[in-house]
Chain A
Amino acid sequence: MIWVDTIIQGILLGGLYALFAAGLSLVFGIMRLVNLAHGDLIILASYLILILVTATGMNPFVAAIVAAPVLFALGWLLQRFVLNRTLGDDILPPLLVTFGLSIVLQNALLEGFSADSQRISLGALETASVSVGSLSFGVIPLLTFASAIGVILGLNQLFYRTGIGRAFRATSDDATTASLMGIRPNRVFATATGIAMIVVTISALYLGTRANFDPSIGPARLIYAFEAVIIGGLGSLWGTLAGGVIIGVAQTLGAAINPEWQILAGHVAFLVVLLVRPRGLFPRGND
């Protein structure tokens, strides 16, 4: 029974990694931009939610709803005025610029909030659980996993059922041709990054309530996100969820055997998937 429990904890943890990865995957899928500052943007969003909670005493879920449009705007402006300038045939400039942005964000957060670790408190909800038979599930991990599914369903609806979604797919396919159809690729990209920042806000809410965070932990979260995206097969959102779950389960199983093996087991699982399926579990058709 302990193993069933461990695996379920791992699956639910995978929801959090899938949330980290969904924003990264969205941006990569549309504009082939690898955002190395993605993890730090999640931490930035966590601090923003923390500020709102401590300054006004509002519920963290409400704070996340308040923070989301602010972060959408930040993402929109970041893409429109900084990252769009780096896009082109050469893949190096966006890597360098987002790497630089990562360092700037970490140091700005360190300057603003010190290196002390923080946590967003949810009160009684933190320890709440529901029992099914002899198993019990934390409410927060369940909410995290449900949010991951909600985010992926929402993004799929957006991609396949709306005009802006079709513009995303058309621009991702061929930005030059899209501009001949009256699409403004720069604005499409800015909107995509804005939407990714809403996903970042949701990730930040669960990251900040689940465990302590400090300005330096962004890159480690970025690694899990990367691994989930790559296991899933670049650009597939459901694959990203599968990737998150694989890493989550590997980590909890590793930790159950020996607590020192938690992180290592996740990375080993990633390497094994790469060895067996070099293009990930659900590779996109032909790119």
Chain B
Amino acid sequence: MAHIDGEDPPMPERFIHHLRVERPAASEDVVAARDRLREKFPRVALRRMTHLGMLLGASLDGLALTPADAIVYASNYGETRALEDYLATFPSASPLLFQTSIHPGGVQQVLIGRQQPVGRFWPAAGGARIVEQALISSLLEPAERVVLLGGEERGTWLLEAGMASERAFGFAAALTRDRANAIGRIAFAGGSGGSPADSVVGDAETGAERCPALAEFADALAERRPLRWSGVGGTWELDWCHE
């Protein structure tokens, strides 16, 4: 990975240290996840956790947070199942499902379970360029360490309507400015990418390409695959150190 050797002009960048991606089998539901991941969470907390909460928690496994860490979280659909289940409780609305359905409940389940305060927490909430937004938030954050989280859970009737994720997944990447022992790097070069574009999925005239979807980004992280695309206002790179 040439850039990590420091040969190129400086650009906003962060280096990946801890990385864990949860990509459960398509058949895994919340009950199966509870069984698979039961060792990772306190029993009382586990009972109330959503599939997304468990996947995010498992992604954070082995990573001790501090209040000085910043968290950036990306989810297009958020707490889909809690939202569906909460709506089903009307007219006697469930207070627990109401709380759980509110973005960014997936992360809060985990951190409240850990009793882990954090200073700054940036929950992005959707859109075709959510990956870019989360990466911009990560690069702009002054904290020494930024934990980039992302994930989705499968919906039921919302999925049938095309308003929920087809897949469940979760990822956590600890990003610092320290290139030593990094496993990868995320970088942005301003000015060489797209400019005002008319389409959120890319614009041939102006050069802004389609931004990778959150699930695609998670797959690239899991498979240590490089990504490069022209985004709004500049070019993004995800690349990896080779042993």
Do A and B come from the same complex?
A: no
